[in-house]
Structure 1
């Protein structure tokens, strides 16, 4: 089957699954809503913040406060896109129709990543503008140095989170096992490693911590991170490549 036909088939599969619409909609709503809430609270509390917090205040990051929960929905989306066919048994039919497993996997990844990118970019820009509208005099502008990069980076970050989850799901094949590993990894293990002095230097190279640097505009005091915004996104990209490569290798070696 030609690659174009495979891509068209994967698009039909993705848009016909209700969970796709729900998870992506949840990513949009949660990211924007939490960002607006934190922006409004930051504006009202700004004068009572300690001096150090005011010096570190990054209006762009504040409007992305919902990204942590939004990425949860992106993780679920990435896992379900890949593992749904395994849980329903449809993977046998799909691989019979497309015996070239590389074409099958990367067509699925390409379609899902394009959809995640469109949703991620729209969410990032909406979260930024709505969040800034609630920050009042503490707001920043899209044309200020580093801000446009951060907003575009927010969309890229959400896309890479989804792609990393697709790679992990390709290796594990089970939605429950994939989510059972990814959720604690991003919401517990990464935070612990990144906030404990003994492991900070390791934690900063994890995909979410490295990738989120792209959304920072105001440098934090005493920050000794050895890479910049694009370097951090590059590190996250390497994690994605490793996960997708692992998924491809195992898909070629294993039976459906």
Structure 2
């Protein structure tokens, strides 16, 4: 899919990999709507890109449905969706204080997996309402998994389960939506220079990336954005989760 002239929604676009994706999509000629939690820089970022900003909490499933509909209406349609919002906590299945509480596990799965699926089903609907291009394509959905989906570390049981779900549903969803001309993929980043991780001192980061094949550093948000845009532009990419990890494999801890 050619990005120029297309309509894109970036959920989590006020910071990190989402922000970089929104900026690159706009630079390539897309009209971009950013959806993110209130209190961040999303409104200013969207203004700088000549785009749209709306406050939205992805765990408010009915609320985000309305926000997404507003974004699509203001854009004039939907061709591209990049979903980067998520997060996790560190808790073992069983610790000295007892079993992992179900409330926290359910909360992490809701934030990452259920909320992503909710976005996807709605984004797919909006994409299906548009005209197909010459290849029969109507839209591309890019979700964010993690290499924790494949080798989660101690304490990441909830996060790993949720991110594995995002990776696992890519092919099935792509098959579900293939007849509509909508592609679905996920990106599984390793350690990226975003959020609290970006503020870690170099001496803390060095041992964390020592196992990388190359380069031995954290990923940069713009590298996620480049892959997201390459996914959009390459019609033969579909139904899979692409690792973006410099050859890193998480150790147990």
Q: Which has the higher contact order (CA 8 A, sep 6+)?
A: 1
- Same fold by TM-score, threshold 0.5 exceeded? no
TM-score (norm 2): 0.36
- Structure in which a larger fraction of residues adopt strand: 2
- Structure in which a larger fraction of residues adopt helix: 1
TM-score (norm 1): 0.36
Larger Rg: 1
